[in-house]
């Protein structure tokens, strides 16, 4: 990402004299070291943004919004973008090729390049003479989800493992407590409690898992996750590995009665609106408590025409927005 272009885009949104612009400029021209032990000298980046930081998606959205608008103007073309991950979908070959040209030209204008290994042109179903240059496929992976040509949406293989690992990590963090508990049934009860905390209390865990549950509709795959979780609980409780015979000692029905959560059930609750996004609820609570429920504005500011969305004259910006 070209820093000069990004900073010019930010100037259109934030007054350069505003302290917020100084903070944004520091994040754009970030300082980094090439080794982890701190022995190498620090460098100031001239290109790129540090993905994984809180501001990365913001900068990507500011940088690519103009390209979004150009692509959205193409008839019969749908755009889906998250940060720098872009998907164009169309039932028309002509629209798809037009979108590809606009995308290539837009990236070039921003001095960006796309890795050829990260690009795919495909058509759902087998390739036909009417779709030369498009790879035939019956499934598509995007943002951790696998979309199939038959309309089913599943977890991709790596995201399936990622959800499993959320529970594994929670169990490992309490491995000392579990080892000190001699009774397998009591260990199972502790593991059930930890499983519920993963789905109900950890902000990061809940946000990640609920995002996928909100979009997945393959309940057969979620039943496999439920089965895996039950087997993992039994394997740790009885210290005897993943063996189906352990269900004779503590049945799946009994685990559910003890409170073992079900991803199938949680998905249904989410889809019917009975489970709110814990992350958004938490953020709303924190913001409300921090501000006392009212926005604070400086007094005596003149109303100015043409104020930016972020400027030293907030009343002017609000007046323009209204």
Q: What's the pLDDT score for residue 88?
A: 92
Q: Which helix (H) or strand (E) holds 148?
A: strand 145-148
> Which segment of 66-70, 132-136, 173-177 scores lowest on mean pLDDT?
132-136
pLDDT band for position 39 (50/70/90)? low
CA angle 149, 146, 114 (to 5 degrees): 100
* Residues 134-150, mean pLDDT to the nearest whole number: 86
pLDDT band for position 316 (50/70/90)? very low
pLDDT one-digit tens code per residue, 195-232: 999 988 766 777 888 889 999 999 999 999 999 999 99
Per-residue pLDDT at 73 exceeds 50: yes
pLDDT one-digit tens code per residue, 117-129: 888 888 876 555 5
End-to-end CA distance of the chain: 34
Residue with tokens 């302290």: 19
* Residues 247-269, mean pLDDT to the nearest whole number: 93
pLDDT band for position 102 (50/70/90)? very high
Average pLDDT for the chain = 82
Q: Which helix (H) or strand (E) holds 316?
A: helix 314-321
Dihedral of CA 199/202/207/212: which sign? negative
**From CA 231, how far away is CA 273, in angstroms rounded?**
29
Helices 263-271, 219-237: axis angle to 10 degrees equals 140
């Amino acid at each position: 990402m070209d820093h000069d272009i990004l900073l010019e885009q930010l100037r259109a949104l934030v007054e350069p004299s505003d302290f917020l612009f100084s903070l944004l400029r520091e994040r754009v021209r970030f300082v980094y070291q090439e080794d982890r032990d701190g022995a190498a000298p620090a460098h100031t980046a001239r290109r790129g943004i540090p993905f994984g930081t809180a501001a990365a998606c913001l900068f990507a959205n500011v940088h690519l919004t103009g390209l979004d608008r150009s692509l959205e103007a193409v008839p019969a073309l749908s755009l889906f973008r998250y940060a720098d991950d872009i998907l164009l979908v169309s039932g028309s070959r002509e629209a798809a090729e037009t979108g590809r040209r606009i995308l290539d030209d837009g990236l070039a204008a921003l001095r960006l390049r796309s890795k050829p290994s990260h690009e795919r042109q495909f058509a759902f179903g087998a390739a036909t003479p009417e779709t030369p240059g498009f790879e035939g496929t019956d499934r598509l992976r995007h943002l951790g989800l696998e979309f199939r040509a038959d309309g089913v949406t599943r977890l991709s293989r790596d995201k399936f493992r990622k959800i499993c690992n959320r529970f594994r990590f929670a169990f490992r963090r309490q491995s000392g407590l579990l080892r000190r508990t001699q009774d397998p049934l009591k260990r199972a009860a502790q593991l059930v409690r930890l499983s519920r905390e993963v789905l109900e209390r950890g902000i990061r865990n809940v946000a990640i898992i609920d995002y996928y549950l909100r979009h997945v509709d393959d309940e057969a795959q979620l039943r496999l996750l439920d089965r895996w979780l039950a087997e993992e609980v039994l394997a740790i409780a009885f210290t005897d590995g993943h063996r189906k015979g352990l269900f004779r000692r503590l049945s799946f029905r009994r685990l559910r009665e003890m409170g073992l959560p079900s991803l199938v059930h949680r998905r249904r609750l989410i889809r019917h609106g009975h489970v709110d996004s814990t992350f958004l609820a938490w953020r709303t609570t924190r913001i409300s408590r921090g501000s006392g429920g009212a926005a604070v504005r400086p007094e005596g500011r003149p109303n100015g025409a043409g104020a930016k969305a972020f400027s030293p004259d907030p009343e002017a910006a609000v007046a323009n927005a209204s």
